[in-house]
Chain A
Amino acid sequence: MNSKPRLLTILDVVTVLLLLVASYMVFFYAPQEAVMGDVQRVFYFHVASGWVGMLGFIGAAVSGIIYLIKKDRKWDIVGLAAVEIGIAFIFINIVTGSIWARPIWNTWWTWDPRLTTATVMLLIYLAYLMLRQGIEDPDRRARFGAVYAIIGSLSVPLTYFSARIFRTIHPVVIGSGDPSATGSFDMTPMMTQAFMFSLFTFTFIFIDLFWHRIRLGQKTDHVEQLRLKTME
Chain B
Amino acid sequence: MSIDQQSTPYPGESTSGRLGSFMRAMFAVVWKDLSAELRSRELISAMLVFALLVILIFNFALDLDPASRREPTITAGVLWVIFVFAGTLGLNRSMAVEKDRGCMDGLLLAPVDRSAIYFGKVIGNLVFMLMVEIIVLPIYSLLYNVNLFNPGLLLVILLGSIGYVAVGTLLAAMAVQARTRDILLPILLFPVVLPVILAAVKASTGFLDGSEMEMILPWLNLLIVYDIIFSAVAFMVFDYVVEE
Contact = CB atoms under 8 A, between A and B. Distances in A.
Contacts of B202: 162, 165
B174 A147 contact: yes
A68 B237 CA distance: 9
A134 interface: yes
A68 B178 CA distance: 19
A155 B198 CA distance: 12
B198 A150 contact: no
Contact of B180 (A134, A144, A158, A162): A134
A68 B195 contact: no
Interface stretch (B54-62, B86-94, B100-108, B183-191): B183-191
Contacts of B225: 158
A74 interface: no
A24 interface: no
Given A127-B188, A134-B180, A143-B243, A151 B194 contact: no
A152 interface: yes
Interface centre among A68, A130, A144, A151 (most CB of B within 10 A): A151
Contacts, number: 88
A131 B179 CA distance: 9
Given A154-B233, A161-B222, A134 B188 contact: no
Interface centre among A120, A124, A136, A158 (most CB of B within 10 A): A158
Nearest to B244: A140
Interface string B171-209: 100110111110010011011111100110010000000
Interface string A134-149: 1110001001101110
Contact of B187 (A130, A135, A136, A146): A130
Nearest to A165: B218
Contacts of B243: 143
Contacts of A106: none
Interface centre among B174, B177, B202, B219 (most CB of A within 10 A): B174
B226 to A, nearest CB: 6
Nearest to A144: B174
A168 to B, nearest CB: 15
Contacts of A124: 191-192
Top 3 nearest A-B pairs (CB, nearest first) are A134-B178, A134-B180, A158-B195
Given A140-B177, A143-B243, 5 more contacts: A147-B174, A147-B241, A151-B230, A154-B230, A161-B222
